[in-house]
Structures are given as structure tokens and as C-alpha cells.
Structure 1
Amino acid sequence: MRDLVVKAKLTDRIIIDSAGTGDWHIGQPPDERAQRAAKKRGYDLSNLRGRQVAADDFARFDLFIVMDDANASALASVCPPEHRDKIRLLMEFATIDDSRVVVDPYFGGDEGFERVLDQCEDACAGLLDSLRAQLAA
């Protein structure tokens, strides 16, 4: 998504951050398999580090994009009621893939990470189109 926003010259209008619902990867870089798959497509994830969603994030951000129902549920459980409508599944924005959620790549081989990238590229393009429409309104 960051790459798309940079190419669209919208970095001054769209702020992107990443955070998990749990605390088990705080301070750690992305999975090596994810980094390898991303690098093949020209994405550099090496500077990213895990962090956990913080209470002030709910007022700070307009959208919380999650990969699956488990993450949506976990986020909703700590989200103030007035901000729960900000939680959306990434695949809601997909234009090619009709999957409901992003597949979990961690229990398969490298091809699982390729599949995740396919899904994310599709859905992030749709998300950017949606955000562009909102910014133009």
C-alpha cells in the first residue's frame, strides 16, 4: 500500500501505519519468507518493525484494515464503540480475488507468501481507488 500511495503522490494525504493485535512480534522485522517474497516484487520490508495497536490509534486513524475475521474480532474487542465502524477487511476492496480474507501463509511454503502478495496487491489497488474517491469528494 505504501508503494501505491507514493506512486499516486498522496503521501501528504494518506498516512499508513502497521500494527498487530497481539504483543508477540513487537520490535521484530517481518517474517523472512515475507521479506523474500516482497523483495522479488520490488518491496523492501527490512525497515519495518512490529508494534501493537495502541489506544490512541483509534482516534488517530480513519481506517483499520485487517487481514481476517480473527484480527477484526480482536481489534473490535479493544476498540472504543464509537470507532468500530473504522474496522474493515482488506479483501472488501479486492477487484479480482473474491476471497473474504487474506490467506494465512505461515503454515505453508513460500508459495503461501506469494498468494498473500497477490491478494494484497489486488485489494490495496481497490483500497487506493476508494480513498481517492473519498479525497475527491
Structure 2
Amino acid sequence: MTHRILFVCLGNICRSPAAEAVFRALMPEAHTDSAGTSDWHVGKPPYAPMQAAARARGIDMSDLRGRQFSGADFKRFDLIIAMDANNLADIEAQRPVGHATPVHLLTDFAPETGMDHVPDPYYTRDFDQALDLIERGARGLQHSLRGG
């Protein structure tokens, strides 16, 4: 089974493209995408400092471009992964009637971290902390999808 997974954050320039890039390296057979709940960065590449931090770990996300989340994504994906509770609420507010596509926080797949969200490094400036959480969550998600 090919999994179709969408990663969502606020602007789609830091956390969600990093999560998409990390996850596609872990599970290249999955169909992945990322989006933002805002339209601030549509068509733009990921934030340069986030790309640099990811590149230092061997993660390339230079091919990704920002796009905005829409209710149609509930039809296009099997699973939607939000980076924080505000993103999750914004996603759920667009859920079309009758669509049961699951929406989870990425940190749900990394309970050992004790975190309930991935802090936004655009504001915190801590790109390594965000990547640490994203990598742990992505590995947990991979494990979950493979029946672990």
C-alpha cells in the first residue's frame, strides 16, 4: 500500500517542508507533500536557514515550494500531520462533511520527547531543535505505518 501523507505547518517554509523531506528519505515509497495553513509563502522555497540546518544533516528540501492547505487535501491524502495544535485546529476547520481522513500531530509519533508540538524555528531560531523533533516524529510515523 502506498501511503499519501501531507505535513502541515503555518507558513510551509520551515517545519512542514522539513518533515516532508525527512519522511521521504525514510519512506521513499510514500507519496508526500507539505502545505501551510496561511498563504504567506505560496510558491516560495523553504526558509534558507532551515534548508541550511537540514542540509547539514544530509536532508535536501531545495526542490520544495510552499502551497496553502485546502479542504480538498482531505480527499488527496490518507493522513494529515500537523506541527502544532493551532495548525491542527485550522486543518479541522476545513474538513469537508463526510471525510474521515485522520489528522494527527507529528509529536503524537514521538511521545518520548514529552513535546506536544514542534516549535516554529522561524520564531525560535532553533532549527536543530525543530529538526530533532521532526526526525523523531518521522521515525515514529514510519514505524507506525509499517505496523510496528
TM-score bracket, shorter-length normalisation: 0.7 to 0.9
Give the alignment's Cα RMSD to 1 decimal.
1.6
In the alignment, which residue of structure 2 is the partner of 1:119?
133
**What is the rounded CA distance, in whole Å, between the counterparts of 2:25 and 2:111 in structure 1?**
18
Matched to 2:145, the amino acid is L
Aligned: 1:4 with 2:4: no
Post-superposition offset of 1:57: 1.6
Shift in alpha-carbon separation, 1:86–1:42, aligned structure 2, 3 A: same
Q: Name whichever structure is richer in strand by fraction.
A: 2
Query: Which fold has the larger relative contact order, with Cα–Cα distance below 8 Å and residues 6 or more apart in sequence?
Result: 2
Aligned: 1:25 with 2:41: yes
**What is the rounded CA distance, in whole Å, between the counterparts of 1:32 and 1:51 in structure 2?**
17
Instruction: List aligned pairs for 1:1-137, cutoff 5 A.
Output: 1-6=23-28, 11=29, 14-83=30-99, 86-94=102-110, 96-109=112-125, 112-133=126-147
Post-superposition offset of 1:94: 0.7
Post-superposition offset of 1:52: 1.1
Q: Name whichever structure is richer in helix by fraction.
A: 1
What TM-score comes out, normalization by structure 2 length?
0.79
**What is the rounded CA distance, in whole Å, between the counterparts of 1:30 and 1:82 in structure 2?**
33
Post-superposition offset of 1:84: 5.4
What TM-score comes out, normalization by structure 1 length?
0.85
SS of alignment partner, residue 99 of structure 2: helix
Matched to 2:141, the amino acid is L
Post-superposition offset of 1:56: 2.4
Q: Any conservation in 1 of the 2:80–2:102 contact (CA below 8 Å)?
A: yes
Identity among equivalent positions (%) equals 43
Q: Which structure has the larger Rg over C-alpha atoms?
A: 1
For structure 1, list consecutive stretches of 5 or more residues without a partner in the other structure. none
Post-superposition offset of 1:86: 1.2
Q: CA offsets per residue over residues 33-68 of structure 1, 9 Å max, x none?
A: 100000000011111000112332211211110000
